[in-house]
Amino acid sequence: MQVKALGYGLRLNGMMALCSRLFRMPAHFSGVYGFKPTHGRVASWPMSNNELATHIGPLTRSVEDAALMTEAMAGPHPWDYTSLEAPPQHYAGQLKAASMRGKCIAYSPDLGHARVDPEVAEAAAQATKVFADMGAIIAEVSPPWGKLGPELIRFFWPAIYAGRAEYLPQYANRMDPGFVAMLRENAHVITAQFMQMRTRRFEYVQQIHDFMEGYEFLLTPAVSVAAFPANRLQPAHWPKHDWDWLMWAEFSYPFNWSGSPAASVPCGFTPAGLPVGLQIVGRRFDDLGVLQASAAFEEARPWAHLRPPLVQ
């Protein structure tokens, strides 16, 4: 399995462990299952200077493979002070132990603000009905914290890389143009602003956790668009911007920051034959619950054998 992603991977017997801040995106674009465990479940080294937003988890052809791989990867490490002390559960052996009947599940098609392509939105909406058919209680929501995210991510994403600005005078003509534009546009940020926005982000994350207390899971599209040419920052039919690709990636960063377990499970194809992922988000530490919900969906709507036709 080959997956192009914003991160680095480790191939293990046909499965891949991917370290990336935007972990579910490769799964969505590639039609495979991607699982992001609770932050700290899998230790990370070297530590990343990106506000604890890096996660490590598996990309696989089945939920069971992801469960097995998470068991192998999980555990504490003294070099990662965010790693969790608790040993991993026997996830694979408990995948079928939970029913979706009676579970209260939130569904948000756009988190109250995100633009989503119609064919992606339709696939996610139809996938949500599968949980209703399994007996879950579905509540369509527009979470009040959702609309607070875009300003925060567009501050912190450039801030993570602010130290690279020192290389602009010498190497700007050899660097990615979007990256250069981002650094130049945000070169004015000072420490006081950073700390103020950090406080706001902590408040934002607390709102996510408070919201999740009312639901066992939250369902959303994994990404707003289907796969598009890798040499573009945005799909051709989306607004252009010198560096802002986050406009089609509004469903990932909230749950990176909150440290919540989340998965992208294949839920269909666009009319052009491109895969679409449904994101399943759980409460922090409920890694098993997200895997069980994913397994229930996989059993109700088998996907691993499906392949779109190969066309020019």
Assigned domain for 194 exists: no
Residue 55 placed within a domain: yes
Domain count, the chain: 1
Give the range among 108-117, 154-163, 259-268 with minimum mean pLDDT: 154-163
Residues 223 and 233 sit within 8 Å (Cβ to Cβ): no
Residues 216-251 have pLDDT tens digits of: 999 999 999 999 999 999 999 999 999 999 999 999
Q: Range of 127's domain?
A: 8-141+216-300
Contacts of 176 (CB under 8 A, 6+ apart): none
Q: Is residue 294 part of a domain?
A: yes
The answer to whether residue 181 is domain-embedded is no
DSSP string, 269-290: E-TTS-EEEEEEEE-TT-HHHH
pLDDT in tens, 269-280: 999 999 999 999
Query: Quick check: is 210 in a domain?
Result: no
Q: Where residue 23 falls among pLDDT bands split at 50, 70, 90?
A: low
Report yes or no on 244 lying in a domain. Answer: yes
Kindly report the backbone phi and psi dihedral angles of residue 264, in degrees, each rounded to the nearest multiple of 5, phi listed first.
Answer: -115, 120
Q: What is the pLDDT of residue 311?
A: 66
Residue 230 lies in a domain: yes
Q: Kindly state the tokens that stand for 38.
A: 């609770």
Side-chain-facing half-sphere of 258: CA atoms under 13 Å:
27
pLDDT of residue 47: 81
Q: Mind listing the pLDDT tens digit for each residue in 127-154?
A: 999 999 999 999 999 999 999 999 999 9
- Give per-residue pLDDT as tens, 171-220: 999 999 999 999 998 888 889 999 999 999 999 999 999 999 999 999 99
Q: What is the amino acid identity at position 52?
A: L
Neighbouring C-alpha atoms within 13 Å toward the C-beta of 115: 10
Residue 52 domain-assigned (yes or no): yes
Query: Alpha-carbon distance 251 to 264, whole Å?
Result: 11
Whole-Å CA distances, 210 to 102, 122, 283 = 21, 28, 10
Cβ neighbours for 114, distance < 8 A, ≥ 6 positions apart: 146, 224, 250, 251
Domain of 13, CATH number, reads 3.90.1300.10
In which band, very low, low, confident or very high, does the pLDDT at 312 lie, cut at 50, 70 and 90? low
